[in-house]
């Protein structure tokens, strides 16, 4: 991206240069966050209430997105589903990135056998396909919401570790690290004050991408009936519930999928359009 604003891209001075695609993606994400926070006050009908005499009803003035397989309001159910999809994914990705990044920086700074052991072990975990990992763990510990959060965060920790370690290894060779070591600084200080500020931008961008993976995996598990269990329903579970409406092209199947797509595509687009200064702030 050049310093001059090209036509078609609106430049907004926020300290960073942003473009239209990035801003609209951010808008969609913020909209879903607001929905997730205030869903109980926004829903026009109660999620459990049967409001339509027909099932798989069409889009109407009263039921904005039609009704589901029991005649419940899909619009309300999607709004409430946002809480589970966003909440579980955000919790899982935060835990995964926090532990992955902390371990990665420790491994890079400490080096030696700790680094080798951690890398070998986490790389091995990384070579289990994520969906398969999810299936095996769900089979073992069940699919309560805390178990799902724990499973998802374990699955995505190795990736975050690998990414953070690669960045931290570069920073570790810098002169200021040598100086800090000679000063006699301890490991926690080195990690928190010398390494972390230098890798924060890319780590946050990575967190966003990992969030998309978590949302997709969670939806996939729920779609298979192994994720969020009734009476709660996230977006993946909504698609599963209403898959019987597919032959009638019911809106109840389509709109939950669209909700997932709008969230994941927005996050991807936002990260793609982040100003270089944040995204690629790799150590020189």
Backbone φ and ψ for 24, nearest 5 degrees, come out as -70, -35
The residue among 73, 72, 82 whose CA lies nearest residue 39 is 82
Task: State yes or no: residue 231 binds another protein (CB under 8 A).
Answer: no
Q: Phi/psi at 248 (nearest 5 deg)?
A: -100, 10
- Interface residue with another protein among 111, 146, 265, 277 (CB under 8 A) is 265
138 binds another protein (CB under 8 A): yes
Contact flag: residue 108 with another protein (CB under 8 A): no
d(CA 250, CA 273): 35
- For the chain, the first-to-last Cα distance in angstroms comes to 19
How far, in Å, CA of 255 to CA of 82, rounded? 12
Q: Which C-beta is closer to another protein: that of 12 or that of 132?
A: 132
Which of residues 30 and 261 has its CB atom nearest to another protein in the complex?
A: 261
Question: What DSSP element (H or E) covers 17?
Answer: strand 17-18
- Single out the residue of 81, 159, 236, 251 in contact with another protein (rule: CB under 8 A): 236
117 counts as binding another protein under rule CB under 8 A: no
For position 224 contacting another protein by CB under 8 A, the verdict is yes
Piece of the chain touching another protein by CB under 8 A; list 65-73, 175-183, 199-207, 214-222: 214-222
Q: How far apart are CA 63 and CA 43, in angstroms?
A: 11
Residues that bind another protein (CB under 8 A): 120-121, 123-125, 127-132, 135-142, 212, 216, 219-220, 223-226, 236, 239, 243, 246-249, 253-254, 257, 260-261, 264-265, 267-269, 272
């Amino acid at each position: 991206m050049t310093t001059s604003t090209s036509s078609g891209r609106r430049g907004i001075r926020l300290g960073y240069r942003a473009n239209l695609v990035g801003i609209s993606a951010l808008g969609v994400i913020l909209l879903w966050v607001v929905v997730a926070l205030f869903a109980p006050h926004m829903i026009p009908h109660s999620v459990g209430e049967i409001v339509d005499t027909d099932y798989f009803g069409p889009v109407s003035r009263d039921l904005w997105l039609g009704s589901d397989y029991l005649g419940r309001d899909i619009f309300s159910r999607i709004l409430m589903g946002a809480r589970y999809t966003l909440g579980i994914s955000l919790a899982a990705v935060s835990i995964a990135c926090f532990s992955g990044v902390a371990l990665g920086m420790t491994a890079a700074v400490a080096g030696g056998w700790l680094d080798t052991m951690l890398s070998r072990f986490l790389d091995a975990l990384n070579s289990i396909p994520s969906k398969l990992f999810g299936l095996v763990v769900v089979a073992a510990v069940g699919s309560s919401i805390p178990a799902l959060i724990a499973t998802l965060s374990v699955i995505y920790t190795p990736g975050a570790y690998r990414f953070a370690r690669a960045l931290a290894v570069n920073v570790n060779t810098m002169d200021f690290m040598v100086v800090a070591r000679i000063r006699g600084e301890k490991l926690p200080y080195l990690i928190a004050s010398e390494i972390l500020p230098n890798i924060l931008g890319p780590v946050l961008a990575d967190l966003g991408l990992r969030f998309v993976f978590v949302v997709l995996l969670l939806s996939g598990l729920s779609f298979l009936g192994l994720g969020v269990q009734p009476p709660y329903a996230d977006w993946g579970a909504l698609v599963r519930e209403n898959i019987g409406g597919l032959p009638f092209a019911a809106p109840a199947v389509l709109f939950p999928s669209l909700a997932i797509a709008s969230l994941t595509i927005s996050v991807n687009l936002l990260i793609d359009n982040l100003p270089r200064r944040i995204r690629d702030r790799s150590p020189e």
